[in-house]
Amino acid sequence: MAIASLDDYLASKKQVQVFYKSGSATTIAAVMGYTVFDLAGNPGAGTLNVGNTANGLVHTDDITGYPIINAFDGGAKGYLSKVEFSAPVAMRLALYDRLFVAGAYAYNADVTLASQPSYASRVPGGTDFKGLELWIETVTAFTGTPSFQINYLDQDGIAGDTGVIVAPAALTIRRCFQLPLASGDNGVQRIDRVRCTVATAGTFNVMVLRPLWAGRIMIANYGDIHDLLRTGLIEIFADSALYVLVAADSTSSSTPCLHFEVANK
């Protein structure tokens, strides 16, 4: 079944997932984004170094660092129906489903992946790869400003190439940035080759992220609630790996707190 009306939503089963980071990290002010995946809190700290450069991994909520989503009823679909959020400092928060991640690659990597696992079960209908984003996540700080080049299959399964993309700066630990896709591409089915040049130190992950939600904390200690009209009832899955990036106005990731309501029917 599916949620197609307000009555359906009211009749749906709901669960609340808590995301709170009690640890904080140094950031560059107003830069999107920084991962808080490895910081202490609820859920517990995950590991930045993925430990798989040859094939990459599909991450699920079974892996430490992600909120655990309870199984849905048989045949039910799940939706992000509400987000409550706050933080001690002004910032932007963005929520993703972390579909695929490979790494940690070295500053001079040139790796052709093989036997990559599919994340088709985590996109709507199992076939809609449109809107998926390609990101770099810094595992250890870089010396020098690196350049990246990623070969991939686009939303239609056609070979694509980012070309050589220069990082916005020497990358500090936890710094993430999105790579632009080739002209005309708007999604990623698979990562095929990873290259990095110029830098003399540093390691990184390559990620495919599915954007779910974003919100802005306008002033310190502010909070807000985005209901189903503002989340858009975007579909999520019982094994979704909910992953948060922060862009603080200050130089600290601070301690953001989010409550996600997941409805299924």
Tens digit of each residue's pLDDT (9 = 90 or more) over 231-243: 999 999 999 999 9
> Mind listing the pLDDT tens digit for each residue in 146-203?
999 999 999 999 999 999 999 988 899 999 999 999 999 999 999 999 999 999 999 9
For residue 175, the model assigns a pLDDT of 97
Query: Mean pLDDT, to the nearest integer, of 201-221?
Result: 97
Residue in this structure with the two tokens 């706050």, named with its chain if needed: 86
> Mind listing the pLDDT tens digit for each residue in 41-71?
999 999 999 999 999 999 999 999 999 999 9
For residue 155, the model assigns a pLDDT of 98
> Mind listing the pLDDT tens digit for each residue in 6-24?
999 999 999 999 999 999 9
For residue 31, the model assigns a pLDDT of 87
pTM flag (> 0.85): yes
Mean pLDDT in the chain? 96
For residue 14, the model assigns a pLDDT of 96
How many angstroms separate the Cα of 39 from the Cα of each of 19, 48, 56, 76, 256? 11, 10, 22, 33, 11
Query: Mean pLDDT, to the nearest integer, of 131-159?
Result: 97
In the chain, the percentage of residues whose pLDDT exceeds 70 is 100
For residue 30, the model assigns a pLDDT of 86
pLDDT for 99 beyond 90? yes
For residue 1, the model assigns a pLDDT of 75
For residue 13, the model assigns a pLDDT of 96
For residue 65, the model assigns a pLDDT of 96
